[in-house]
């Protein structure tokens, strides 16, 4: 068996983190993307820019600010302490929160594009056919935006799996708790365990390739269907 127990734990933890982050991001990202796609408010551009920040910032910067704000003296840390939840730094919950920020643009942007592409016309048709706004969201927008949701979910999952800097900053390197695959590869390399690093790194490479391949074939399917 080329993988140690720590390696397997790291793989499971990574998958758990990516799944949970993706589910939460779809819940948070959908209304945010909907608002960004529909609003004429002056807030649209600033909010859009904030959502896109993780695309350009070094992950260490995001990690650093999250670490400070979630720490015992940070605003968020004091809030969670006063609620009796302790602090989230160096915990799995902290990792999930960090990943949500880190992968936010990968969910919001494809969804926003999908919603914008749908336009107002199908919603107006739905309204003249007696569908309330909620009803038309579920019966018209969700099915029409399905390719956008699939892209968002895949990107969020894959991007969270590839996360390194944010994890290291706010999660540390605690086996079974915050030690994810990317960090584990780093550990192996530092310990000169190149064989094990190869197994994990090669696995990541294969996984990423398959994800992107799925994504691109999914896209061309959609084109043909239209």
Partner 1 sequence: MFGFGKRPAEVVADDGRIHARFLVRHAGFTLDVDLDLPGRGVTALFGHSGSGKTSCLRCFAGLDRPQQGYLQVAGERWQDSACGFFLPAHKRAIGYVFQDANLFPHLSVRQNLAYGQRRIPPAQRKVALDQALQLLGIGHLLERMPAALSGGERQRVGIARALVTSPRLLLMDEPLASLDLKRKQEVLPYLQRLHEELDIPVLYVSHAPDEVARLADHLVLLDEGQVRASGPLKDILLQPDLPFAGEDDAEAVIDGEVCGHDAAYHLLHLRLPGSEAQLRLPHAALPDGHRVRVKIKARDVSLSLQHAEGSSLLNRLPVQVDSCQALDAQMLLTLRLGEQRLLARITRYSFDQLGIHVGQALWAQIKSVSLLAP
Residues that bind partner 1 (CB under 8 A): 120-133, 135-136, 139-140, 143-144, 226
Task: CB nearer to partner 1: give 58 or 135.
Answer: 135
Task: CB nearer to partner 1: give 82 or 132.
Answer: 132
Q: How far is the CB of 130 from partner 1 (least distance, A)?
A: 4
Q: Which of 105, 85, 92 shows the shortest CA–CA distance to 28?
A: 105
The rounded distance, in Å, linking the Cα atoms of 91 and 76 is: 14
Residues 6+ apart with CB under 8 A from 174: 90
Q: How far is the CB of 124 from partner 1 (least distance, A)?
A: 5
User: SS3 letters for 67-103?
Assistant: HHHHCCCCHHHHHHHHCCCCCCCCCHHHHHHHHHHHH
Give burial (CB, 10 Å; 0-12/13-18/19+) of 16.
Answer: middle
Q: How far is the CB of 226 from partner 1 (least distance, A)?
A: 7
Task: CB nearer to partner 1: give 127 or 211.
Answer: 127
Q: How far is the CB of 136 from partner 1 (least distance, A)?
A: 8
Task: CB nearer to partner 1: give 31 or 72.
Answer: 31
């Amino acid at each position: 068996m080329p993988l140690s127990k720590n390696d397997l734990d790291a793989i499971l933890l990574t998958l758990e983190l990516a799944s949970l982050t993706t589910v939460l991001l779809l819940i948070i990202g959908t209304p945010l993307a909907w608002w960004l796609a529909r609003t004429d408010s002056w807030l649209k551009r600033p909010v859009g820019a904030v959502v896109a920040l993780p695309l350009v910032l070094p992950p260490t910067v995001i990690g650093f600010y999250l670490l400070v704000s979630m720490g015992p003296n940070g605003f968020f840390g004091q809030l969670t302490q006063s609620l009796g939840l302790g602090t989230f730094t160096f915990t799995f919950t902290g990792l999930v929160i960090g990943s949500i920020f880190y992968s936010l643009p990968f969910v919001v942007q494809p969804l926003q594009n999908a919603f914008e592409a749908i336009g107002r016309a199908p919603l107006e048709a739905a309204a003249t056919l007696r569908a309330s706004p909620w009803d038309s969201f579920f019966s018209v927008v969700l099915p029409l935006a399905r390719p956008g949701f699939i892209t968002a979910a895949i990107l969020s999952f894959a991007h969270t799996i590839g996360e390194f800097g944010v994890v290291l900053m706010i999660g540390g390197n605690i086996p079974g708790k915050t030690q994810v695959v990317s960090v584990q590869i780093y550990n192996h390399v530092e310990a000169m365990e190149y064989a094990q690093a190869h197994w994990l790194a090669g696995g990541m490479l294969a996984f990423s390739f398959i994800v992107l391949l799925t994504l691109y074939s999914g896209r061309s399917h959609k084109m043909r269907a239209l």
